[in-house]
Each structure stands twice: as structure tokens, then as C-alpha cells.
């Protein structure tokens, strides 16, 4: 009995009294604009961060580790991915194949893709670089991983989500319900608003949006339009639910965190009619 108390009850009691289960480890592969915004934010939300860098000893990487709460560290991309439950690929599309295939066995891990595979076309306007989507390519290279597409706003609005006036809705797509819920929980914890965009194949639609985002930049316009969605009203204020077949997983949709309800009073949308 004494052994049972020592081996099982005491550790369980200690765990609950000191704040529950151990923090999940998130590997952030790439320490650029996105990596250095997401890492500190996700650490503040209680996750343990291990950065994966081509040069973990670099001064900028060590400064990022120092600026990241908790037991943060930096190592090679492969070691970081192997040490983590969740692997976030914060690298540009061109080296993605080499990076995503060089992380070792990712079976069972959640692999988050925030990238956009596009390039400049012959007329100067952007075109997609792949026929499917970056997320599906990454899934193909790592069939045992649970790949999740997480579409984010510009890194500035990861640092300061409140500047957009409402939580930016992040489109999240994936084929594994539990993994999608875990990524949604991270998004919510860092001040974003996760939006369930369905299965991984929906990444094609999500990634195509970046073409529109890039147009003003390629046109050399000075104005910048952020590519975000924001939460609004209830569908039921406008449409009934009898206009199409429901989605196949309608009875078992992923559960995403709420951060406040839209206005339930439909009179706000009917111009007083
Ligand atoms: N920046 C944004 O606002 C934003 C918004 C939405 C989505 N995204 C997506 O986030 C991803 C990262 O974007 P970013 O803006 O953070 O890019 P970035 O500033 O250029 O940084 C990318 C990082 O990837 C790592 N990397 C690994 N292999 C590389 C290689 N061969 N060449 C260059 N870098 C390599 C580098 O980290 P190490 O030197 O430490 O290895 C580098 O700092 C992209 O897929 C982008 O589409 C970015």
C-alpha cells in the first residue's frame, strides 16, 4: 500500500496541486519573422518551446531563446522536432521540402504548416507554385504525421493581435480532429480566433488567398491590406439550414474555443425591418 501511495497517488497529487499536466513541447523550426513572433507568444501561453535552427548558436537565436518564457532552448531542426509533440514549420516555401523531409520520423506528431507556396508569374502577378497545397505536400512527405494548416496574419498581428480591432480569425484545416483542436487551443491562447476550415484539402482555398494579399505589394502600392477574417453574426440571422446537405462530419465537429459570442439579436442586422 505504501508503495502504491509513493508510486501513484503522490505524483498524481503533486501534479494537480502544481498546475496540472506537464507543458507540451512545441518545436518552432525557423527563427525568422514568424518564428520569433510565435515562439515567445506560445511560450507565454504555457507551452515549452524548442527552436530548430540551422545555426542554434547564432547570437540572434540565443537572444530569441532568452526572450522566450519557460524552459526554452535551441538546437538543430531535427533534434527540435524529435523533442517535441507539436512541430511548427516556420520556414519559407522554397526550402520546405528539404526541411520537412529532414526532421526524422514525425509519425504521430502534429505538424503545423503556416507557409504559402507561391511565386511571381510571367506577368508579375503571383501564381501558386504547387497544384495542391503546401500542407498536402508536407503530409505526403510525412504520411504518419497529423498535418494541420494554420493560416496566420502578418507577424506584427501575432505580436499585437488587438491592433486589428477584433481577434483575427485564423483558418485551420486538417484531417485529424484532435490535432485540429490542439492547434486551435494554441491559436486561442495567443489572442487569435481559430476558425475550423474543414479537412486538409481546404488548404488549397486557404493558400490561394495569399495571391490576393500579394497583389498590392507586386503592384508597388503603398497601402497594405491584411488578409484576415473576423467573426460576425449568426448564420441563422440570414439563412436557414435547409439549403444544402450538411458536411460529412457535421455530428462530430472539432470543438474550438469560444472567446465571446456574436450578437444573438438578429434585429441588429435587419435595418429595423
Ligand atoms: N512573416 C509573416 O508575416 C508571415 C505571415 C504568414 C505566414 N508566414 C509564413 O511563415 C513562414 C516563415 O516566414 P518568415 O517571414 O518567418 O520567413 P523568414 O523571416 O525568412 O525566416 C525563415 C526562417 O526559416 C529558416 N530557414 C531554414 N532553412 C532556410 C533556408 N534554406 N533559407 C532561408 N531560411 C531558412 C531560417 O531560420 P534559421 O536561420 O534559424 O534556420 C529563417 O530565419 C513562411 O512559410 C511564410 O509564408 C509568414
**Cβ of 53 less than 6 Å from ligand 1:** yes
pLDDT confidence tier of residue 4, bands split at 50, 70 and 90: very low
pLDDT tens for each residue of 13-71: 434 333 456 789 999 999 999 999 999 999 999 999 999 999 999 999 999 999 999 99
DSSP-assigned letters across all residues of 141-170: H-TTSEEEEE----THHHH-GGGGSSPPEE
pLDDT tens for each residue of 65-114: 999 999 999 999 999 999 999 999 999 999 999 999 999 999 999 999 99
173 Cβ contact partners less than 8 Å away, ≥ 6 residues apart: 135, 148, 149, 180, 197, 198, 199, 200, 201, 202, 203, 206
Distance from Cα 174 to the centre of ligand 1, integer Å: 22
Residue 20 placed within a domain: no
Q: Are 202 and 173 in contact (CB under 8 A)?
A: yes
Query: What's the pLDDT at 33?
Result: 98
Residue 231 placed within a domain: yes
Residue 118 placed within a domain: yes
Over 70: is that where the pLDDT of 270 sits?
no
Residue 15 placed within a domain: no
Query: What's the pLDDT at 114?
Result: 98
Query: What's the pLDDT at 261?
Result: 62
59 against 262, higher pLDDT: 59
With b meaning 16 or more CB within 10 Å and e meaning fewer, what string describes 106-135?
Answer: beebbbbbbbbbbeeeeeeebebeeebbbb
- 152-164 mean pLDDT: 94
Share of the chain above pLDDT 90, in %: 76
Quote the CA–CA distance of 103 and 141 in Å, as a whole number. 11
Over 70: is that where the pLDDT of 3 sits?
no
Q: Which atom of ligand 1 is nearest to the CA of 155?
A: 3
Query: What's the pLDDT at 235?
Result: 79
4 against 85, higher pLDDT: 85
Q: Which atom of ligand 1 is nearest to the CA of 93?
A: 45
pLDDT tens for each residue of 134-147: 999 999 999 999 99
Give the SS3 label for residue 87: strand
Among 32, 79, 159, the mutation site with the greatest number of ligand 1 atoms within 8 A of its Cβ is: 32
Q: What CATH number did the domain enclosing 98 receive?
A: 3.40.50.720
Pairing of strands 169-174, 146-150: antiparallel
Query: What's the pLDDT at 66?
Result: 98
Among 35, 55, 92, 156, the mutation site with the greatest number of ligand 1 atoms within 8 A of its Cβ is: 92
Over 90: is that where the pLDDT of 133 sits?
yes
Among 28, 30, 187, 225, the mutation site with the greatest number of ligand 1 atoms within 8 A of its Cβ is: 30
Residue 240 placed within a domain: yes
Of 175-184, 187-196, 210-219, 227-236, the poorest mean pLDDT is in 227-236
Residue 73's DSSP bridge partners are 50
**Cβ of 31 less than 6 Å from ligand 1:** yes
Residue 72 placed within a domain: no
Quote the CA–CA distance of 272 and 151 in Å, as a whole number. 36
Q: Are 116 and 89 in contact (CB under 8 A)?
A: no
Q: Are 220 and 191 in contact (CB under 8 A)?
A: no
Q: Which atom of ligand 1 is nearest to the CA of 36?
A: 16
Structural domain harbouring 203: 92-269
- 178-189 mean pLDDT: 98
**Cβ of 129 less than 6 Å from ligand 1:** no
* Nearest Cα residue to atom 4 of ligand 1: 154
Over 90: is that where the pLDDT of 6 sits?
no
Distance from Cα 217 to the centre of ligand 1, integer Å: 18
Query: What's the pLDDT at 271?
Result: 60
Residue 196's DSSP bridge partners are 172
Q: Does residue 20 come out as left (phi exceeding 0), alpha (psi in the -120 to 50 range) or beta? A: left
**Cβ of 78 less than 6 Å from ligand 1:** no
Would the pTM count as exceeding 0.85? yes
Residue 17 placed within a domain: no
Domain count, the chain: 1
DSSP 122: T
Q: Are 50 and 68 in contact (CB under 8 A)?
A: no
pLDDT confidence tier of residue 264, bands split at 50, 70 and 90: low
Give the CA distances from residue 249 to residues 134, 246, 253, 271, in Å, rounded to whole numbers and listed in that order: 24, 8, 6, 35
Residue 30 placed within a domain: no
Amino acid at each position: 500500500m505504501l508503495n502504491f501511495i509513493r508510486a501513484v497517488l503522490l505524483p498524481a497529487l503533486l501534479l494537480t496541486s502544481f498546475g496540472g499536466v506537464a507543458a507540451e513541447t512545441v518545436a518552432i523550426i525557423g527563427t525568422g519573422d514568424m518564428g520569433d513572433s510565435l515562439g515567445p507568444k506560445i511560450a507565454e501561453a504555457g507551452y515549452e518551446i524548442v527552436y530548430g535552427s540551422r545555426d542554434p548558436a547564432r547570437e540572434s537565436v540565443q537572444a530569441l531563446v532568452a526572450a522566450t518564457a519557460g524552459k526554452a532552448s535551441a538546437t538543430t531542426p531535427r533534434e527540435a522536432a524529435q523533442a517535441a509533440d507539436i512541430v511548427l514549420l516556420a520556414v519559407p516555401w522554397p526550402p520546405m521540402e528539404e526541411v520537412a523531409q529532414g526532421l526524422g520520423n514525425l509519425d504521430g506528431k502534429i505538424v503545423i504548416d503556416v507557409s504559402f507556396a507561391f511565386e511571381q508569374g510571367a506577368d508579375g502577378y503571383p501564381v501558386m507554385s504547387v497544384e495542391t497545397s503546401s500542407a498536402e505536400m508536407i503530409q505526403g512527405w510525412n504520411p504518419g504525421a497529423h498535418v494541420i494548416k494554420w493560416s496566420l496574419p502578418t507577424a506584427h498581428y501575432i505580436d499585437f493581435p488587438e491592433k486589428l480591432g477584433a481577434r483575427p480569425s485564423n483558418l485551420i484545416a486538417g484531417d485529424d480532429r484532435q490535432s485540429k483542436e490542439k492547434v486551435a487551443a494554441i491559436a486561442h491562447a495567443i489572442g487569435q480566433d481559430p476558425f475550423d476550415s474543414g479537412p486538409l484539402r481546404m488548404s488549397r482555398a486557404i493558400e490561394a488567398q495569399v495571391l490576393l494579399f500579394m497583389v498590392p505589394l507586386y503592384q508597388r502600392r503603398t497601402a497594405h491590406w491584411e488578409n484576415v477574417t473576423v467573426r460576425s453574426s449568426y448564420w441563422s440571422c440570414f439563412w436557414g439550414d435547409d439549403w444544402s446537405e450538411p458536411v460529412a462530419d457535421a455530428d462530430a465537429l472539432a470543438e474550438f474555443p469560444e472567446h465571446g459570442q456574436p450578437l444573438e439579436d438578429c434585429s441588429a442586422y435587419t435595418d429595423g425591418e
